[in-house]
Structure 1
């Protein structure tokens, strides 16, 4: 059998110390196949975003194991995790996290430059064109709408051609029509790059587009 792209075994996340400790995730077991689109749903505060953070190595599990592409994320230091995400993952958040002093083109090209890509600006321009922003290459975030800023964030996540795309409520700050357009673009980027997509969402219509949906409640899969 093909090795899973993501493999979590009894993954746990506890925050705080001593009497103030809070169990966020309580023994999660998940295998995600290459090319699969997995939806994570559940009420607010259930642990969906925390689980996505574990999958991306943005938080470290306090119990169990988290493997991505056969690598144990728990055995990596911060610098190694950052390099692993840079080389293999794209992450899109509800908030756009663009650098205000950089143009759209620079926001997308800079991570590619840092990874040593010699064609960083050419690839950045191609990704911005793919999300319909060829006319916004030299605009700053403050000169763009929320939907346009999220398109820049999508292009930045997709530009490294990641094997794994992680999206945490990427339409949460957008109106319905703009959010639907962003999701069409996200699924299009997944298809274009053959990425495995993990999507945290409250929206049933988005969950229906996933190959598989897992519901989380009180830190457990239900």
Structure 2
């Protein structure tokens, strides 16, 4: 029996801009099951990153419902959403969002410390080792290459052993070689922790590694495709 980890029902997102109200997403109904890998593709401006932000609770739906691990994200305030992400989600962005004044080890350990893990630094070391960066643990982000910074971001996202991994164009700022390595690590971490992965990408070859691909167009789901052989 499949278990829904993420379930969106008629979810919509509108934002106020300089030119007035802009409708970003329209009545999205989508379910992502436990252990599934889902690729979100579509042209720029189609709403795929906004959809990922709704799943992460980083944007609040204008209407509709978003359930994650049985919890209603649309009914949570900002503090509750932050706690939920801390405990249950790992989020990886195109821009690495590392804290520049902290070492690689401190960047990975800090969320664990905030969550009350007494072994935060031990776990952080293990995760840096898992992404091949144990030798760079004491380096600051400015001393690391783009590929290395994204490896630190991956280690930080996976350190809490999240049930849900969300990645928004994780290879967008990397060259082909580093991008391929990051993708391999991302899928490897998903398998290691039996997590559910939702991946926003412009790359069709990367999307084809997922179990299922959802194509967005103009803020709506235009097509869904299930892959015969994922990863």
TM-score range, shorter chain: over 0.9
Which of the pair is proportionally richer in strand?
2
Matches within 5 A, 1:120-139: 120-139=120-139
For 1:147 and 1:192, the matched residues in 2 are separated by 21
Q: Secondary structure at the match of 1:16?
A: strand
Instruction: Identify the residue that residue 24 of structure 1 maps to in structure 2.
Output: 24
User: Residue 64 of structure 1 aligns to a residue in which SS?
Assistant: strand
Q: Per the alignment, in what secondary structure is the counterpart of residue 58 of structure 1?
A: coil
Corresponding position of 2:4: 4
1:21 deviates by 1.0
Aligned to 1:101: 101
Check conservation: 1:38, 1:213, Cα contact below 8 A: yes
- Check whether the contact 1:3–1:70 (CA below 8 A) recurs between aligned residues: no
Quote the offset at 1:164 in angstroms: 0.2
Where in structure 1 do 4 or more consecutive aligned residues deviate above 6 Å?
A: none
Residue number in structure 2 paired with 1:55 = 55
How much has 1:3 moved relative to structure 2?
A: 3.6
Give 2:154's aligned residue: 154
Paired residue for 2:225?
none
Distance in 2 separating the partners of 1:146 and 1:2: 37
* Residue aligning to 1:35: 35
Residue 227 of structure 2 corresponds to which residue in structure 1? Answer: none
* Aligned residue pair count: 222
Q: Provide the aligned C-alpha RMSD in A.
A: 1.2
SS in 1 for 2:67: strand
Deviations 1:16-54 (A, max 9, x none): 17x811110000000100000000000000000000000
Q: Which runs of 5+ in 2 are unaligned?
A: 223-231
